Amino acid sequence: MSSTIEEDPYEPLLGVEVEAGHGPTRPPSPFDPPHPDDLLLGHEEEPLDWAAVRNLDHFFTNVYRYWEEKGFTVILVARILNLTALLFTIVASGILLLGIDYSALHAECLKTEECTLWDVAFIKNPLRNGPLTLWKSLSVLYLAIFAGYWLFSAAHFVHELRGLLEVRHFFSYNVGMSERSLRAATWPEIAARLVAAQRSVRLCISKDLTEHDIVSRIMRKDNYLIGMLNKGVLALHIPLPGLQGHVLLTKTVQWNLRWCVLDAMFDESTFKIQQSFLQDEAALQRRFRVMAVVNAIFSPFLFVFLVIYFFMKNAEALYHHPSSLGARRWSPAARWSLKEYNELPHFIEQRLQAGHAAATTYVAQFPNHAVSHIARFIAFITGSFAAVLIALTLADERLLEYDFAAGRQTLWWLGLLGVILAVSRALIIEPSLSAFDPEFALLEVAAHTHYLPRHWRGGRAHTLEVQEEFQSLFRYRTFLLVEELVSVLLTPVLLWYSLPRCAGAILRFVDGNTTSIEGVGDVFTQAAFRFYAGSTTAETAAVQQHYHQQAKKMEQSLVSFSTCYPTWVPPTEAGHFLDKLSVFVENEMHNEGIYENNINTEGAVDAVAVGGDRGGGIERCGDGGLATRSKLNFSELVTPRYPHSAHRYLQRQRNVINLNRLAATTGIPGGLPTQQQMPLEEERIAAAHALLESYYEQQEQEEEDGMIQHAEQHGDSNLPGQQNSIITSPRAGNRLQEMTSELSVLSREHSEAIER
């Protein structure tokens, strides 16, 4: 991002003239930062009492939104324009429903130009013209509902302004950042500044804030939803023929889940899970069914509104770019499944956007040649007709206005043929110059999504099973639009039948996966990075496998978080895991001959190679600034200065699938994207997760070798991973019993879900 930011043209309209690095130059208002001279004179008066912030979740969420949407001025303009667009959509839909006489569009006087379309088709007073029909009554009810929604949105915006003004004042007064400087800052820098501001402004009285505390408050509810989806707690399948295998997680479903579950869980004054919520399964079932009735009542009106909105939004783009019908996007279910704990929305968007090209490349490895031949034939026929019509109109332009066929003018048929021609051409498969390489294409996707199940590996990327699973995550844009529309009608079915049946599982999941953090409140356990420290020798292979499956996402989330927030000090167990990973990375760099080239004989980082000392200021995620010390931590080892081990890992993976195309010295062509292709944050995180996968490979190999050695020494005939471990202590036995019980519960719930 460029360091030179143009002056915001809207700031003078608000009466604020900000100079770079200073506060407002006009007379101060209650929401302006103090003049530097006032601070030198010891003025400590603040217009707002920041120590009295009662809801830090709401405050930090506003801070994040304030940064993400680039300041108060941008938010103000965006909200006003959104309200205007919503009002325009409501008025336009009212005209389409009540203000047009569609039977008059084919009036004879229009052909002879004796009248205009405005005279015969537009109804001047639709409510007074004619009797009150059912259609007119429903249309009026539709307009009343969305007019009320617009008024609610406007009132919410006005109420939201105070919180945004408070955040604006906080940034100017306590953080020392103007709106212009905010637009050039990364979120990790903002989080570090918030942590530093805690020293002078006690936002949290009970403890000193950390980056993890701030993000945990912002992501408190989302982390639970990520965990529920990760462990398959939510029944999001429609119990209708042909839809049982489809996961429905559209925006409509997400909104209902938030209202029924996530918003009802917490006591907003203490940020604790309410015991009344955990102990009343019937209340949760009742809440689902009440919302099913509410959705059923409003779904027809919402469906009509979304159809009109999608038409107005996409019709022009579809006409001029019909090939967009064949474009793909990550589905909502994929976005939530691939999202890591404590991963803010802009980070997941960066990852998925960076992996979009690789995902498109992978899907393009398996074209549908039958559809291509049909599309080529349709394009030939359509193009021939269009060419004839164009030639005729060139000979006599008056033919454009004549009826050519079916009562339609030549111009209308040319437009229709043009759309059909463009769509069919978009479906034609062009000869590709790239080699058939699905294995490495899938590895490129996994470098960003951090998702590569074991059954996708080992040369199986070309199989039909892997293709179908991947395409269920990466769907056609048209399919997602239709799914969003249809989900409005299907959500009541989901809320009435599917979700009430898993209400008990939801409550048990929340109760069993909640941890309390001092000064933060109740959070999802894995989002707190609480590692299980039990004895691995005292557990069966099945229990270990279950734990590792659940813990892997937590470890991936920890790696991403520690990479992006290098000043954050992790909890003890999480720190031990990162230390082990750091040792592994250093060994890899030694083996590759990289580490010695960048570290001097005393272990200090070469001052010429790095961007500065971390102690010299606040470091941004991805800047590459390292402290001069004898030992590098994990977040420092995956800076852009040291991504080579990740490249080596991808190179080894490519050799495994027997392609043997050596990489260039700077990395694998087409592998990890360069700095110009994606943000530095994503480059570091991609490198970190490639190293984590390499670490997993080594750990699995060591475990397998150890089990084989144990079997040989004790004459055990069981295969590795199948033998039963001996319980050596009561504590280990209790833990084994607990985890085995948890496995049985999960197995029973899974069986019940299959039966349903």
Structure confidence by residue, pLDDT tens digits, 640-661: 444 444 444 444 444 443 333 3
Q: Is there a domain that residue 228 lies in?
A: no
Upper half-sphere CA count for residue 379 (Cβ side, 13 Å): 14
Q: Is there a domain that residue 10 lies in?
A: yes
Q: What is the mean pLDDT of residues 253-263?
A: 94
Q: Within this chain, do residues 549 and 688 fall inside the same structural domain, yes or no? A: yes
Q: Report the candidate in 483, 474, 478, 431 with the shortest Cα–Cα distance to residue 321.
A: 478
Q: Within this chain, do residues 10 and 154 fall inside the same structural domain, yes or no? A: yes
Q: pTM to 2 decimals?
A: 0.73
Q: Is there a domain that residue 288 lies in?
A: no
pLDDT of amino acid 281: 92
Q: Is there a domain that residue 750 lies in?
A: yes
Q: Within this chain, do residues 548 and 669 fall inside the same structural domain, yes or no? A: yes
pLDDT in tens, 348-402: 999 999 899 999 989 888 877 788 889 889 989 988 888 888 888 887 777 777 7
Please state whether beta strands 403-405 and 408-409 pair in parallel, antiparallel, or not at all (unpaired). antiparallel
Q: How many domains does the chain have?
A: 3
Alpha helices by DSSP H, listed for 198-344, are 211-218, 220-230, 251-257, 263-265, 275-278, 281-320, 332-338
Q: Within this chain, do residues 564 and 683 fall inside the same structural domain, yes or no? A: yes
Mean pLDDT: which of 27-36, 273-282, 578-587 is highest? 273-282
Cα(75)–Cα(68) distance, integer angstroms: 10
Q: Please name the residue that has the structure tokens 């209308």.
A: 412
Between 256-260, 406-410, 710-714, the lowest mean confidence (pLDDT) is in 710-714
Q: Within this chain, do residues 477 and 540 fall inside the same structural domain, yes or no? A: no
Q: Within this chain, do residues 339 and 200 fall inside the same structural domain, yes or no? A: no
Tell which of 428, 454, 484 closes a domain. 484
Which tokens sit at 628? Answer: 């001069």
Residue 428 has pLDDT above 50, yes or no: yes
State the residue range of the domain holding 712.
529-755
**Sorting pLDDT into bands at 50, 70 and 90, what band is 704?**
low
pLDDT of amino acid 525: 92
**Sorting pLDDT into bands at 50, 70 and 90, what band is 23?**
very low
Cα(380)–Cα(376) distance, integer angstroms: 6
Q: Is there a domain that residue 470 lies in?
A: yes
584 vs 73 pLDDT, higher one: 73
Q: State whether the Cα torsion 404-407-411-413 is positive or negative.
A: negative
pLDDT of amino acid 739: 47
Tell which of 218, 246, 265 closes a domain. 218
Q: Is there a domain that residue 207 lies in?
A: yes
Q: Within this chain, do residues 553 and 472 fall inside the same structural domain, yes or no? A: no
Residue 440: burial class (beta carbons within 10 Å; 0-12, 13-18, 19+)? buried
Between 61-65, 288-292, 649-653, 724-728, the lowest mean confidence (pLDDT) is in 724-728
Cα separations in angstroms, 72 against 131, 165, 342: 49, 7, 25
Q: Is there a domain that residue 318 lies in?
A: no
Between 379-383, 400-404, 409-413, 674-678, the lowest mean confidence (pLDDT) is in 674-678
Q: Within this chain, do residues 154 and 21 fall inside the same structural domain, yes or no? A: yes
Q: What are the beta bridge partners of residue 515? A: 523
Region of 267 on the Ramachandran plot (φ > 0 left; ψ -120 to 50 alpha; else beta):
beta
Tell which of 183, 218, 253 closes a domain. 218
Q: Within this chain, do residues 478 and 542 fall inside the same structural domain, yes or no? A: no
Q: Within this chain, do residues 603 and 751 fall inside the same structural domain, yes or no? A: yes
Instruction: State the average pLDDT for the chain.
Output: 73
Which tokens sit at 458? Answer: 């080992």
Residue 6 has pLDDT above 70, yes or no: no
Q: Within this chain, do residues 580 and 457 fall inside the same structural domain, yes or no? A: no
Q: Within this chain, do residues 586 and 651 fall inside the same structural domain, yes or no? A: yes
Q: Is there a domain that residue 654 lies in?
A: yes
pLDDT of amino acid 215: 94
Which tokens sit at 54? Answer: 């009662």
